[in-house]
């Protein structure tokens, strides 16, 4: 008899499995449809012996000390500050847009004070910020919006920025100095031996049983368990009763290149003429030394594994209907990106899982399922860390 069935072996499921097993002495069964643990953060050595992230780059960053200290129990860290370049007008320039970006694009030699005035001179004020287009043009004007944001967003989301909520481009800052780090969080690092090793350490407890290549519905009625922690798509849990929640997916094209280095930055964004959105070179992220190098190109689309909830009002309304069902479902906790239809960073998922564990332990009456009020509180908790990858 297992106390908990956890659906999904990504961050949300693995953190809760570890906490319930180690912190509360519970017996936990973790099932995942994939053939590996770690969810989308899974990494592995390819046929050429190079450590790669199968599902695109995962860069760990957080301002949450609790999250950092918790994960540090399961991995040593390699210091790493992420940097991105964008291919614009035949040049590779810093992204987010900063002082060096503008000076390179326009052949200028502005100072930080002058750049602030430059942005004000090209900005197109909006009375109300509603869409992603509004966010960008109100800050940096139409030309930079066209060069860096519009086509990238069209590829990434399959829609024009004028059709998307403001939150999409609000995640990307604009700077007036030369700081070219993509994130400014207090803690920025990569697991020294990779994400998969970290997950292995997290799940290596005698109270935790892991079943891969398994749909959780296959074990219903066969393996006894108490409550469920569900980290999959919330609409699928309810058999898409109200229709499918829209997601954007990604297709990855991995290549090994017969040279030590391929590009001059860990990630290069391609906002315009290319069909892919970005190219990542993994050795920058992992610090691995190897005579060859491995890269991955990302192609967004509507079909495939769900990655990004599509932020539009009608989708939020559809999720609200599923959330009402989730709140009414006794004995099931809905945790993580897919189960709460939010684009969380990795640290935010860890924070949510840790909060969920405390709520399970603090609100549950022995022998009874958790209250609806307790589960509702999870979805309303503040997020940890800064915005997006």
pLDDT in tens, 310-335: 989 999 999 999 999 999 999 999 99
Q: Which residues contact 226 (CB under 8 A, 6 or more apart)?
A: 1, 2, 3, 4, 5, 331
pLDDT-derived band of residue 307, with 50, 70 and 90 as boundaries?
very high
Q: Can you tell me the mean pLDDT for 110-118?
A: 96
Q: Can you give the pLDDT at residue 382?
A: 30
Question: 385 near 349, Cβ under 8 Å?
Answer: no
Q: Can you give the pLDDT at residue 168?
A: 84
Q: Can you give the pLDDT at residue 379?
A: 34
Please tell us whether the domain made up of 2-44+52-76+192-245+309-379 is placed in CATH 3.40.50.720: yes
Q: Which residues contact 222 (CB under 8 A, 6 or more apart)?
A: none
Q: Which two tokens stand for residue 31?
A: 């099932």
pLDDT-derived band of residue 389, with 50, 70 and 90 as boundaries?
low
Question: Which residues, in sequence order, are bridge partners of residue 267?
Answer: 84, 280
State residue 301 phi and psi, 5-degree precision.
Answer: -170, 175
What is the secondary structure of 326-362 as a DSSP string? Answer: HHH-TTEEE-SHHHHT----HHHHHHHHHHHHHHHHH
Is a pLDDT exceeding 60 seen at residue 29?
Answer: yes
| Percent of the chain surpassing pLDDT 70 | 93
Q: Can you give the pLDDT at residue 384?
A: 30
Q: Which residues contact 250 (CB under 8 A, 6 or more apart)?
A: 55, 56, 298, 299, 300, 301, 304, 305, 307
Q: Can you give the pLDDT at residue 363?
A: 54
CA atoms within 13 A on the CB side of 151: 18
Q: Which two tokens stand for residue 385?
A: 């860390």
Q: Which two tokens stand for residue 73?
A: 């129990």
Is a pLDDT exceeding 50 seen at residue 386?
Answer: no
Q: Can you tell me the mean pLDDT for 226-237?
A: 98
What is the secondary structure of 57-114 as a DSSP string? Answer: ---EEES-HHHHHHHTTT--EEE---BEEEEETTEEEEES--HHHHHHHHT----HHH
What is the side-by-side strand order in the sheet with 208-211? 208-211, 28-31, 2-7, 225-230, 332-334
Q: Can you give the pLDDT at residue 37?
A: 98
**Of 337, 300, 316, residue with least CA distance to 245:** 316
Q: What is the mean pLDDT of the chain?
A: 92
Q: Can you tell me the mean pLDDT for 4-28?
A: 98
Q: Can you give the pLDDT at residue 94?
A: 98
pLDDT in tens, 138-186: 999 999 999 999 999 999 999 999 999 988 887 778 999 999 999 999 9
| Percent of the chain surpassing pLDDT 90 | 88
Q: Which helix (H) or strand (E) holds 208?
A: strand 208-211
Between CA 82 and CA 340 the distance in angstroms is: 28
Question: 62 near 185, Cβ under 8 Å?
Answer: yes
Is a pLDDT exceeding 70 seen at residue 378?
Answer: no
- Residue 366: C-alpha distances to residues 3, 161, 207, 362, 377 (Å): 12, 49, 19, 11, 20
Location of each CATH 3.40.50.720 domain in the chain: 2-44+52-76+192-245+309-379
Q: Which two tokens stand for residue 334?
A: 């809905």
| 3-class DSSP state of 259 | coil
Range in 75-84, 169-178, 371-380 the model is least confident about: 371-380
Is a pLDDT exceeding 80 seen at residue 380?
Answer: no
pLDDT in tens, 92-102: 999 999 999 99
Q: Can you give the pLDDT at residue 368?
A: 37
């Amino acid at each position: 008899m297992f106390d908990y069935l956890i659906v999904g072996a990504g961050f949300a499921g693995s953190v809760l499995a570890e906490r319930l097993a180690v912190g509360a002495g519970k017996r936990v069964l973790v099932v995942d449809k994939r053939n590996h643990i770690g969810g989308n953060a899974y990494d592995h050595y390819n046929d050429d012996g190079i450590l790669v992230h199968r599902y695109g780059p995962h860069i760990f960053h957080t301002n949450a000390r609790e999250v950092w200290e918790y994960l540090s129990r399961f991995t040593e860290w390699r210091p790493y500050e992420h940097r991105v370049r964008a291919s614009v007008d035949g040049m590779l320039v810093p992204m987010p847009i900063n002082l060096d970006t503008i000076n390179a694009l326009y052949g200028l030699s502005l100072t930080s004070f002058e750049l602030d005035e430059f942005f004000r001179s090209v900005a197109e004020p909006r009375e109300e910020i509603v869409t992603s287009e509004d966010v960008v043009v109100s800050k940096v004007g139409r030309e930079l919006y066209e060069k860096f944001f519009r086509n990238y967003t069209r590829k990434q989301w399959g829609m024009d920025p004028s059709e998307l909520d403001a939150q999409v481009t609000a995640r990307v800052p604009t700077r007036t100095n030369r700081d070219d780090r993509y994130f400014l969080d207090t803690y920025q690092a990569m697991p020294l031996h990779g994400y998969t090793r970290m997950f292995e350490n997290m799940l290596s407890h005698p109270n935790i049983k892991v079943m891969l290549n398994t749909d959780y519905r296959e074990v219903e009625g066969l393996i006894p368990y108490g409550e469920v922690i569900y980290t999959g798509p919330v609409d699928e849990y309810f058999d898409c009763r109200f229709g499918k929640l829209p997601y954007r997916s990604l297709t990855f094209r991995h290549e090994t290149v017969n040279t030590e280095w391929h590009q001059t930055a860990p990630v290069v964004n391609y906002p315009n003429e290319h069909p892919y959105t970005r190219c990542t070179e993994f050795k920058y992220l992992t610090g691995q030394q190897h005579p060859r190098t491995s890269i991955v190109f990302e192609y967004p689309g509507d079909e495939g594994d769900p990655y990004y909830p599509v932020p539009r009002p009608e989708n939020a309304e559809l999720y609200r209907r599923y959330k009402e069902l989730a709140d009414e479902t006794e004995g099931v906790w809905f945790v993580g990106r897919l189960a709460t239809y939010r684009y969380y960073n990795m640290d935010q998922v860890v924070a949510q899982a840790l909060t969920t564990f405390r709520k399970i332990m603090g609100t549950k009456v022995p022998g009874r399922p958790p209250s609806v009020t307790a589960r509702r509180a999870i979805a309303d908790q503040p997020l940890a860390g800064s915005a997006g990858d």
